[in-house]
Amino acid sequence: MPSNVGRRLNDPPAQSAGATGGRRLLRVGLVSIVLGVSACSNLTHPASHRLSPSSQLTLAQARQAFRTFLPGFAQLPLNFSPTAARRLTMGAELQAQLFLKGQSGPPITGLTNEAFYVPRMTGYPRWFLAAGQQGGASAAGHLFVMVQSARSAPWRAAMALYDIGSAAGMLHQLAATVTTDARGYAIMVPLADPSLDVTPSSMPGTYARYLNGTASRAVARLFQAGPTTTGFIAFDRQVSRNAGRYGWLDTDHHSTAPAPVYALRLNTGGAIVIFAIDDAVRWRARTSAALLPSRSHPAAANYVPPAFVSSRLGISSVKAGTVITATAIDRVLAFVQPKGVGFIYPLINNGAATGVQATSPR
């Protein structure tokens, strides 16, 4: 499965963002505690404070704000501190950065082909999207949801999405489909827009149920086949079936994350919707002989708790009944088409681990 789908659980977080091959995905993501942008606990844009017309963010101001932000963000993996992470990120992205120490995605040394999608906003918090291409050995498309919570507040990243090797064509898709008005401003979509297959505010819960296999047949049919939909579900079921061969009972559960949803109009009449969902993978040891990651058992890598999980927990053996849990946040970019016109397709799903835990019977 493409590396933009999610983080591989059995690789160290610092190395996994660009990894390829047969190693297990963190099943389209993982994170424990997820805070909503600006402490918002519902799936809407945060309550806004009115702006005067002259306070509308211009494209030039968005460009300058992002160029002020980016050097510090790019340095987080090299000079990580919780203070710096809090200054530069917020909400779901902050939780990932704190757990992964600045390495919630592939490294950035500089972006080219930058593009800015600035909606007309009537209050704070206000936001825009900034996109750009990273070249070289860590080639990837990058997309940031930049949020300013108050007039004097800094611009911070609420979500940082990426497209490894630009395999999904994220930047091209945005440039070709996001609608702008005569002055170049993107058009914000109401989160309760009933003209779409699924309203933007309902996308986190709908996608989580789809991945869990609990969505109705009518809803499941709205999702276009691909690596973040049918491909993920097939892989997830394969892992759950085969984990028992190595002594584990494996479960994976997705749920709505308490984070805001962002939506812009597409030229099809649909919307690009950016949101987050929570993910929790649990392994219960059936016996004390349950296998842990080992170079001598490479075939087991997809079906046992990943090496970085056991390393973080300091576990070298387990008892029957031991439960290991890894949690994550999945940052998702989905194309949602109008009813009767097309499908829902999650183009990008970037998982970032945010917590690990183990409990053992006495």
State the Cα–Cα distance between residues 53 and 319, nearest whole angstrom. 64
In sequence order, what are the residues at sequence separation of 6 or more whose Cβ sits closer than 8 angstroms to the Cβ of residue 173? Answer: 335, 347
Rounded percentage of the chain residues whose pLDDT exceeds 70 = 85
Helices 203-212 & 230-242, crossing angle to 10 degrees?
40
Strands 123-124 vs 49-50: parallel, antiparallel or unpaired? antiparallel
pLDDT 10s digits, 4-44: 333 334 333 333 332 222 233 454 333 222 222 222 323 34
pLDDT 10s digits, 151-199: 889 999 999 999 999 999 999 999 999 999 999 999 999 999 999 999 9
State the Cα–Cα distance between residues 26 and 252, nearest whole angstrom. 10
Q: Pull the structure tokens for residue 24.
A: 């297990």
Assess whether pLDDT exceeds 90 at residue 298. no
Q: What is the mean pLDDT of the chain?
A: 86
Rounded percentage of the chain residues whose pLDDT exceeds 90 = 77
Closest C-alpha among 139, 138, 174, 142 to residue 160: 142
pLDDT of residue 259: 94
Assess whether pLDDT exceeds 80 at residue 305. yes
pLDDT of residue 22: 27
pLDDT 10s digits, 76-130: 999 999 999 999 999 999 999 999 999 999 999 899 999 999 999 978 999 999 9
3-state SS, one letter per residue, for 164-198: ECCCCCHHHHHHHHECECCCCCECECCCCCCCECC
pLDDT of residue 137: 86
281 by DSSP, 3-state: which? strand
Question: Using an 8 Å Cβ cutoff, are 100 and 73 in contact?
Answer: no
The structure's pTM equals 0.86
Q: At 284, which amino acid appears? A: R
Q: Which of 23-32, 138-147, 283-292 shows the lowest mean pLDDT across its residues?
A: 23-32
Tell me the domain boundaries of the chain. 13-359
Tokens 């397709």 label which residue?
Answer: 345
In sequence order, what are the residues at sequence separation of 6 or more whose Cβ sits closer than 8 angstroms to the Cβ of residue 86? Answer: 94
Averaged pLDDT for residues 129-150: 95
Assess whether pLDDT exceeds 60 at residue 46. no
Question: Using an 8 Å Cβ cutoff, are 277 and 208 in contact?
Answer: yes
From first CA to last CA, the distance across the chain in angstroms is: 39
Which pLDDT band holds residue 54 (cuts at 50, 70, 90)? Answer: low
pLDDT of residue 23: 30
pLDDT of residue 74: 96
Question: Using an 8 Å Cβ cutoff, are 228 and 347 in contact?
Answer: yes
Which pLDDT band holds residue 288 (cuts at 50, 70, 90)? Answer: very high
pLDDT of residue 31: 28
Closest C-alpha among 116, 160, 114, 110 to residue 135: 110
